[in-house]
Amino acid sequence: MSDETRVSRRALLTGAALTAGGVLLERLPLGATPAGPASIDPSTVPGTATTATSARSPFENPARTPAGILTGPAYSPIQEFSGTITPNDLVFERHHGGVAIIDPKQYKLLIHGLVDRSMVFTLEDLKRFPSVSRVHFIECSGNGRNGYREAKPGHTPQMIDGLTSNGEWTGVPLSLVLREVGVKKSATWFLAEGGDAAKLSRSIPIEKAWDDALLVYAFNGEPLRPANGYPMRLLLPGFEANTCVKWLRRIKLVDQPNMSRDETAKYTDPLPDGTARQFSFVMDAKSIITRPSAPSRIQRGWHEISGLAWTGRGKIVRVDVSTDGGKQWFAAELQEPILSKAHTRFRLMWEWDGRSATLMSRAVDETGYVQPSFAEFEAGRGPGTDFHFNHIRSWIVRPDGVIEYGVGV
Amino acid sequence: MIARSRMAVVTGAALVTLIALIGLASCKRETPPAQSSGALANEPQTALADARPAPSVPTRFGTIGRRATDAEIHAWNIDVNASGDGLPAGRGTYARGATLFAAQCAPCHGSHGEGIPPFPKLIGREPRDGFPFGREAKYAKTIGNYWPYATTVYDYINRAMPFPAPGSLHPDDVYSLVAFLLAENEIVDRRTVIDARALRNIRMPAHDRFVVDNRVGGHVFR
């Protein structure tokens, strides 16, 4: 007879079930109903039993959107997040050939090209290297297209900037793995290629490999989710997410960029002078107020204005907030710790007086770079530019309290 | 740290520290003896001095991973770069490409390569003059007006297309599809046989339009 059964019998006899550890649900006295949503006072009935994995509260339903896309983005609900860490199941998605499902026992990484030894590493091999954990954002360089080229008043923070996520990545510095194969001096770039249906490939300057590039296998304490590259992806802190090749299966050391599709036909930035900017890897400083924001309606009185700021060039040093469309700016409070190439939470308390207001945030990074206004961005990049949309985002608060995205503001 | 804890033991004033020391001492008994290493061996042994610096690791471990076989490299070494390195033997024709395109590509890209959203337009030279994509959002980017190298058209089709069965095309099929797409984009004529040499010698309309990123952070917005 197990301890649990003994406890359960005693519980049935004495009614002391709630004081005993390890009571199983089915052994509770008849008539005891676990509390559910909109149930009776939860302090008067037993709660639900333990589960293998936690579900969200039935009152919380954050979701990426759209779902069911094989080649395209699913935006993360950034307006529903607190702090800076993105929950694993809500990290944004962007795939070019669907989510590859890879057996970790079959996984291997090939490194070849201009190396002393062409080598193959299994997942277990890569986990034998010294590991590091670092908090970084990862952002699609197409993030913000809905706030610029395809702007609508009803757009939410999710639809405007939901292609950025932040958390703690664990993996091995690429530099350590490259020392194992021995990189020839003639290698100036490396090609990173995925094992998905798109076999997505990008050329990266070798300097990034020696700097802070990581081969990551975990995010926020657990293995990567398949949608984010399980079992292994490249992480290039501060670089556009397309370069952080998921399902990484091959690294080839080369002496010139390949000029692959995703570094020429796509992920280049056409400019007003009749050129297209190429290898625009770094994500410049950016911020967005996530609360209050569309589609909410606010009441007069005090509100916390809160949002996220980040830069691919290091740390955020300042975020200014305006409630009058940029005439006056106030220094927002930045949540510590402020980490390099990571989301930074900013806050400012604001008393709304019931008149029209325009809420804006402006990030400044440690290089002195200031997030540009919409007008400055449009003049510099042109209405047709296609990536790296980092202009100031605006929320219009109408006198009735309804909030809309500030199109072209 | 060591000085402070010695003082604590001597004075007996810091009960918490004492408990910590007892804890560490018991840990020490369970820990295998640390490797003797040079200078540290002569240090006085105290309760808190038993953690030695981690052993230095070699630049190269030498025992992690294994050599790749030629067959493994051959199977995955699929990339074709701008210079045409990696292009295989084979040749393709417009006629064969047109047939393949209608059967395998048109369902997503349209029978005239016009693109069925979300799948992109492939064929078209508009606007004929200039490269106004930054100034105006209305022009779709195609192989004819925005793709800078003919060689990498081969690379992309070969690695990622057709969407439901990537990697299934024979090199002659890929060359034929490139022949069809280049001809429809008015870059070669329909009689041109496409092979590795031909692709290396084609100059695409957008070839000179790409400039390397000049953003460096700091006060100037670019």
DSSP string of A109-172, one letter each residue: EEEEESBSS-EEEEHHHHHHSPPEEEEEEEE-TTTTGGGTTT--TT--HHHHH-SEEEEEEEEE
Q: Does B163 lie at the interface with A, CB-CB under 8 angstroms?
A: yes
Q: Does B32 lie at the interface with A, CB-CB under 8 angstroms?
A: no
pLDDT score at B18: 39
What is the rounded average pLDDT for all residues in chain B?
Answer: 85
Query: Per the CB < 8 Å rule, is B166 touching A198?
Result: yes
Indicate which CATH number applies to the domain containing B182.
1.10.760.10
- Higher per-residue pLDDT: B26 or A319: A319
Of B68, B130, B132, the CB nearest to A118: B68
Shortest alpha-carbon distance between residue A373 and chain B (Å): 10
Q: Does B61 lie at the interface with A, CB-CB under 8 angstroms?
A: yes
| Contact list, B185 vs chain A (CB under 8 Å) | none
Query: Per the CB < 8 Å rule, is B147 touching A129?
Result: no
| Contact list, A258 vs chain B (CB under 8 Å) | 79-82, 152, 155
How far apart CA A139 and CA A155 sit, in angstroms, is 19
Of B82, B134, B155, the CB nearest to A382: B134
| Contact list, B132 vs chain A (CB under 8 Å) | 274, 384
Shortest alpha-carbon distance between residue B117 and chain A (Å): 11
| Of the candidates A255, A78, A66, the residue with the CA atom closest to the CA atom of residue B118 | A66
Q: Characterise A146 by phi-psi region: left (phi > 0), alpha (psi -120 to 50), beta (else).
A: alpha
pLDDT score at B153: 98
pLDDT at A30 over 60: no
| Strand A248-254, strand A108-113: pairing | parallel
Q: A352 Cβ partners below 8 Å, 6+ apart?
A: A298, A299, A300, A301, A302, A303, A397, A401
Residues 142-161, chain B: which have Cβ within 8 Å of A?
143, 146-149, 152, 155-156, 159-160
pLDDT score at B50: 84
pLDDT tens-digit readout, A13-25:
344 444 444 555 5
Q: B63 Cβ partners below 8 Å, 6+ apart?
A: none
* Cβ(B191)–Cβ(B131) below 8 Å: no
B169 found inside a domain: yes
pLDDT score at B42: 56
* pLDDT > 90 in chain B, percent: 73
Collapsing DSSP to helix, strand or coil, A95 comes out as strand
pLDDT at A158 over 70: yes
What is the rounded average pLDDT for all residues in chain A?
Answer: 93
Q: Are residues B79 and B185 in the same domain?
A: yes
Query: Whole-model pTM?
Result: 0.88
CB burial string B69-104: b at 16+ within 10 A, e below: eeebbeebbbbbbbebebbeebbbbbebbbebbeeb
pLDDT at B28 over 70: no
Q: Are residues B25 and B78 in the same domain?
A: no
How far apart CA A196 and CA A39 sit, in angstroms, is 46
Q: Which residue of B has its CA nearest to A251?
A: B77
B19 found inside a domain: yes
pLDDT score at B129: 87
pLDDT score at B49: 75
pLDDT at B13 over 50: no
pLDDT band at B19 (very low <50, low <70, confident <90, very high): very low
Query: Per the CB < 8 Å rule, is A382 touching B135?
Result: yes
Containing structural domain, residue B89 = 74-201
Q: Are residues B129 and B194 in the same domain?
A: yes
pLDDT tens-digit readout, A194-215:
999 999 999 999 999 999 999 9
Other Cβ atoms closer than 10 A to B188: 20
Tokens describing residue A118: 């062409």
Classify domain A286-405 at the CATH topology level: Immunoglobulin-like (2.60.40)
* Whole-angstrom Cα Rg for chain B: 33
pLDDT score at B24: 42
pLDDT at A11 over 90: no
pLDDT score at A10: 39
Question: Is the omega angle on the peptide bond into residue B127 within 30 degrees of 0, that is, cis?
Answer: yes
Tokens describing residue A273: 């002078």
State mean pLDDT over B4-26.
41
A-B interface: how many C-beta pairs under 8 angstroms? 189
pLDDT score at B46: 59
pLDDT at A84 over 90: yes
Q: Are residues B81 and B139 in the same domain?
A: yes
pLDDT band at A408 (very low <50, low <70, confident <90, very high): very high
Tokens describing residue A397: 């608060």
B38 found inside a domain: no
State mean pLDDT over B158-174.
98
Q: Which residue of B has its CA nearest to A180?
A: B60
Tokens describing residue A109: 């990484």
Q: Are residues B88 and B154 in the same domain?
A: yes
Angle at alpha carbon of residue A37, lines to A34 and A41, rounded to 5°: 65
State mean pLDDT over B52-78.
95
Number of domains in chain B: 2
The CATH superfamily of A72-277 is Oxidoreductase, molybdopterin-binding domain (3.90.420.10)
Tokens describing residue A212: 């802070």
pLDDT score at B170: 98
* pLDDT > 90 in chain A, percent: 89
B221 found inside a domain: no
Burial (Cβ within 10 Å: 0-12, 13-18, ≥19) of residue A300: exposed
State mean pLDDT over B136-157.
97
ipTM here:
0.90
Q: Are residues B17 and B126 in the same domain?
A: no
pLDDT band at A40 (very low <50, low <70, confident <90, very high): confident
pLDDT tens-digit readout, B82-121:
999 999 999 999 999 999 999 999 999 999 999 999 999 9
- Alpha helix segments (H runs only) across A142-276: 157-161, 174-181, 206-211
How far apart CA A276 and CA A284 sit, in angstroms, is 17
* Cβ(A174)–Cβ(A112) below 8 Å: no
Query: Per the CB < 8 Å rule, is B219 touching A282?
Result: no
pLDDT band at A36 (very low <50, low <70, confident <90, very high): low
Query: Per the CB < 8 Å rule, is B152 touching A259?
Result: yes
| Strand A394-397, strand A403-405: pairing | antiparallel
pLDDT band at B8 (very low <50, low <70, confident <90, very high): very low
| Of the candidates B56, B57, B66, the residue with the CA atom closest to the CA atom of residue A129 | B57
Of A249, A271, A365, the CB nearest to B76: A249
Q: Give the domain ranges of chain A.
A: 1-28, 72-277, 286-405
Q: Does B51 lie at the interface with A, CB-CB under 8 angstroms?
A: no
Tokens describing residue B84: 């045409």
State mean pLDDT over A340-361.
98
pLDDT score at A26: 54
Q: How many alpha carbons fall within 13 Å on the CB side of residue A370?
A: 8
Of B166, B212, B218, the CB nearest to A197: B166
Query: Per the CB < 8 Å rule, is B147 touching A265?
Result: yes
B66 found inside a domain: no
Helix (H) or strand (E) holding A214: strand A214-219
State mean pLDDT over B197-220.
97
Q: A137 Cβ partners below 8 Å, 6+ apart?
A: A164, A165, A166, A283, A310, A341, A342, A343
Q: Which residue of B has its CA nearest to A280?
A: B213
pLDDT at B20 over 70: no
Which amino acid is it at A320? Answer: D
Of B82, B134, B219, the CB nearest to A368: B219
pLDDT at A103 over 90: yes
State mean pLDDT over B174-180.
98
Q: Are residues B26 and B89 in the same domain?
A: no
pLDDT score at A18: 43
Q: Are residues B8 and B93 in the same domain?
A: no
- Alpha helix segments (H runs only) across A182-294: 206-211
